[in-house]
Amino acid sequence: MPQPSSRLQARYGSDSVPAEIALNPLIEHLLDHRSVRAYLPDPVTDAELAAIVAAAQSAASSSNLNVWSVVAVRDAERRARLAELAGNQAHVREAPLQLVWLADLARLRRIATALERPAEGLDYLEMFLTGVIDAALAAQNGAAAAESLGLGMVYIGGMRNRPEEVAELLGLPPGVFAVFGMCVGRPDPARPADIKPRPPQAVVLHHERYALDAQDAGIAAYDRAMERFYAEQKMNVHGTWSVHSSKRIAGPETLSGRHRLVEALNALGFALK
């Protein structure tokens, strides 16, 4: 395993490592995260899946409402269809396990109906956001657990590209929305993944009050770090990280998920206020 100094250099780039940082085995494990897109065909076992879900359920849940769920997809044909819906991403098809993380308001509505109680609160944006946030918290716990078991993973935001078709494929009832997918499997050692640098802490960490102007130097350093990463990985990325990111936010046509979210949520049984 790499030493803490090399972990930090990989995560930030050599000129942006924090001068002082407290490290322990858990933090070092988290620093090793990387997006894995090449997998061996070996299955993820039921015991490993149970551990991932147990870790996910150990994440914080707003008011203990538990407004998230996850669908484990192992069937090859269904994975292939998910890959198509997510933008023809080959690793969605090839990974032995696809976890689709859901904002799930259907369960509480069913409970309220059974108790003959009103559930109008589920129609407000606050509850939808709660479901999305809880799903993300749970998924990140699950990701860390998967990596601790020697598995690799990568998030799949493309599940939001065609949400109605994903819902039909997975049998999602009204009030359930696929927030993102997650490929899980054993990394293929012949096609290793590297740690992608993140911005210096000066870009994201603010003391007492937010400071936008103070981020410019850190962003310039991050552009340099990502330029080295693009070159090392032989990635066909033109321009700096700043230029690349600006292109991604130019308009709705440049976003990965081009679907009109409000229309999709209405079609999936949400009536947000």
List, for residues 63-115, the tens digit of each pLDDT value. Answer: 999 999 999 999 999 999 999 999 999 999 999 999 999 999 999 999 999 99
Whether the CB-CB separation of 216 and 203 falls below 8 Å is answered with no
Percent of all residues in the chain with a pLDDT value above 70, rounded to a whole number: 96
Q: What is the tens place of the pLDDT at every residue in 122-173?
A: 999 999 999 999 999 999 999 999 999 999 999 999 999 999 999 999 999 9
Query: Is the confidence at residue 258, as pLDDT, over 60?
Result: no
End-to-end CA distance of the chain: 50
CA diameter of the chain: 61
pLDDT given at position 3 = 58
In angstroms, the Cα distances linking 57 to 99, 140, 142, 184 are 14, 11, 8, 18
Query: Is the confidence at residue 1, as pLDDT, over 60?
Result: no
- Give the domains, in start order, of the chain with CATH numbers: 1-32+195-237 (no CATH), 35-193+258-268 (3.40.109.10)
DSSP 43-91: PPPHHHHHHHHHHHHTS--GGG---EEEEEE--HHHHHHHHHHTTS-HH
**β-pair type (97-104, 176-185):** antiparallel
pLDDT given at position 19 = 86
pLDDT given at position 193 = 92
DSSP 129-185: HHHHHHHHHHHHHHHHHHHHTT-EEEEEGGGGSSHHHHHHHHTPPTTEEEEEEEEEE
Is residue 35 classed as helix, strand or coil in its secondary structure? strand
Categorize the per-residue pLDDT at 268 as very low, low, confident or very high, splitting at 50, 70 and 90.
confident
- Which helix (DSSP H) or strand (DSSP E) does residue 104 occupy? strand 97-104
- Which helix (DSSP H) or strand (DSSP E) does residue 27 occupy? helix 25-31
Categorize the per-residue pLDDT at 62 as very low, low, confident or very high, splitting at 50, 70 and 90.
very high
pLDDT given at position 192 = 92
pLDDT given at position 241 = 92
From CA 176, how far away is CA 174, in angstroms rounded?
A: 6
pLDDT given at position 58 = 98
CB atoms under 10 Å from CB of 208, counted, come to 5
**β-pair type (97-104, 152-156):** unpaired
Higher pLDDT, 257 or 200: 200
The arithmetic mean of pLDDT across residues 200-208, rounded, is: 96
Higher pLDDT, 5 or 90: 90
Q: Is the pTM of this model over 0.85?
A: yes
Q: Which two tokens stand for residue 255?
A: 């976003």
Lowest mean pLDDT among 38-42, 45-49, 107-111, 228-232: 228-232
Per-chain mean pLDDT for the chain? 92
Q: What is the tens place of the pLDDT at every residue in 26-35?
A: 999 999 999 9
Place of tokens 């799949």: 156
